[in-house]
Every structure is written in C-alpha cells, then in structure tokens.
Amino acid sequence: MIKNKNITLLSHILVWFVLFSMPYLLSYGQEQDINRVVIHFWIPLVLSAVLFYLNYFVLIDKFLFTKKTVWFVGINVICIALFIYFKETVEGAFFQNIVKKRVDSDSSGPPFKMFIYVQMVSYMAPLLFSIALKTTKRWVKTEAERKEATNFKLQSELQHLHYQLQPHFFFNSLNNIYAMVDISPDQAKTSIHSLSKLMRYMLYETSEESIALTKEIDFMKKYIELMKLRVSDKTVVNYSFPSAETGIKIAPLLFISLIENAFKHGVSASKASTIDINMTCDNQTVLFTIENHNFPKKTEDKSGSGIGLPNIKKRLELLYPNKNSFKTFVKESRFVAQLEIETN
C-alpha cells in the first residue's frame, strides 16, 4: 500500500515537472524570456494543477460520485471564471510590458467572447483528466472489492460443503461398523481402528485448499479396505490407482462420495456384484471411473443423507469451473460414474 502511494506521488511529480519544463524542452538552445514563460505557461499550469487536484481530492467524490452534477458543474464554472480573472489581473499588475506589446502588435485581437471560450476550453483538459483518472481508480477499487467479496463467498461456500461432507462420511462409516458389531466383533474393532486413521486424515490433512494426489489415493485405499470388511464374499471390489508420484495437487475429498455411493447402491446381500474403481493421470488431467451393479435402494431406506453427489457437483462448479467433466449413467444394469478434472 505504501509502495503504491509512493509510486503515485512520484508519477504526479514527474508529470508536472515535465509540463513545467516544456517551454525549455521545445525551444532547446534558444533564449527564453522568463516573463513570457511565466505568464504564458507557468501561471496557467499552476491554475490547471489547482483545478485538477481540487476536483481529484474534493469535488468529484463529494459532488460527481454522489450525483450532485449541477453543483459539480456550477462550482467548476465558478472556479474557471475566477482563474481567468486572476490570470488577467496578474498579467495587468506584474507583466504590463508584455501585455502592452501584445496589444500593440495585434490591436484587432479575438473578440472577448472568443477569448473567454478559449480560456475555458483550456481548463477543460485538467478537469476531464481528473474525472477520468478518479473514475478509473474508483472502478479498479470497486472491481477489487467485488473480487474479494466473491472469493470470500466462494471460500465460505466451499468450507460449508467441506463441513457438510465430514459428518456425512462419519455417519455412513459408523453405520457400517454398527452393522458388524453383533456379526463380527473382531472386524468391528479393526474397522474402528481404520476409521480413526481416516478421521485423523479428514480433520488434519484436508483443511488445505489442495493436497497431493498420492495422499488422497492412500486415503481412498484405506476407506475401500474398511468398506470391504462389511460386504460378503458375493461382492468383489477391484481398484487401480497410479502407483508412481504424479506431482498433481487436487482438492481433497472429491472422489470419496462416489466410492460411498458405489458401496451403498452396488452391493446386494443375496446377489453377486462387483465394484470396479479406476484412476488414471495424463499430465495434469485426472480421470476417475467407478462402475458397480445397480441395486437402487427402496424409498424407505434412509441410510446415508443423500448429499454425496449434489455435494461433489457443487464443489466441482466452485473449484474447477470449465475444467471438469462429471457424468453418471446406467449401462447394462451397471451404474457408471466418470469424473475428469484438469488440475493445471
């Protein structure tokens, strides 16, 4: 902030220094009458500077931006008229010789109305420039505030979705462990131990905006192994993930809802079923595909909260706009979900 203010101050000083030096820069090597330079260049420039900064720091904010246009125009007209009067008074009081020579050399000078018009037009340049500069500065500030508000809203919404997903995940996992307590207490103990590791990951690792894909893969593998404990031998679970370090970073917990969905709708207590999970990486693009037999739950089945797929769709819209492809469909009695993300 301080650095920007210093740059702005130096820019203003440099511009006015160049403008005040123009008579000597344009007539380099020629002798200049200092009185003529003062009366024809420096006094008008000083008055222009006063008009510029009066508008820049006071009038534009107080009147133009508050839509008091009549006041803004009226005050500027009065200021310009006073400046013209002041300039003519100074010329008559301190530079009589130059004024006399100018009158003698051009006794038939421009009409008084034309003279006033030219003088007023000359003051329009600093006035319009101050308006343009102030308007641009205000637009930049407004745009920055709008982006900041948008980013804050985005982060708040993502945080809400993240917190929404965690209890949903724990609820489903605890339901699965509860179902094993009476049937297989040893498996239930193992599941609780595995769940504690997954909870540690979700609580301490997923607070970052993005994490290494390898960490997310390790989390998914542990979750799949946990879920396999509760299914019967009639269900076969196959999964394939990249084994090498990809260098890809991705938003956490994007795929877990799809895996949950597969174990919820792809497993039957009486029929054989398979769940196939596959992830491939090509440069910075991740393709995740999951297929499972389709055993739709009955309407009275309230296991889970039903927020998984809507949650992932909303997160994808916020995190990877125009950089994701997510589709689900049923093919030959198998439910297929495909998620492709460009992480660059």
Reported pTM: 0.55
4-13, 123-132, 326-335, range with the lowest pLDDT: 4-13
| pLDDT per residue as tens digits for the range 241-290 | 998 888 899 988 889 889 888 888 888 878 899 999 999 999 899 999 99
| Sign of the CA dihedral running 79, 80, 86, 89 | negative
Q: CA-CA distance, 341 to 109, in Å (whole number)?
A: 76
Highest-confidence range of 3-17, 24-38, 219-233, 239-253, by mean pLDDT? Answer: 239-253
H or E element: which one contains 324?
Answer: strand 324-331
Question: Where exactly does CATH 3.30.565.10 map onto the chain?
Answer: 151-342
How confident is the model over 223-238, as a mean pLDDT?
85
Q: What is the pLDDT of residue 302?
A: 47
| The CATH classification of domain 151-342, taken from the options 3.10.580.10, 3.40.50.300, 3.30.565.10, 1.20.1250.20 | 3.30.565.10
Is the pLDDT at 222 greater than 70? The verdict is yes
At residue 242, the pLDDT reads: 93
pLDDT digits (tens, 9 = 90+) for 287-299: 999 999 988 766 5
Q: Sign (positive/negative) of CA torsion 341, 254, 315, 343?
A: negative
Q: For residue 315, give every residue at least 6 positions away whose Cβ sits within 8 Å of its Cβ, in sequence order, or none.
A: 158, 161, 251, 254
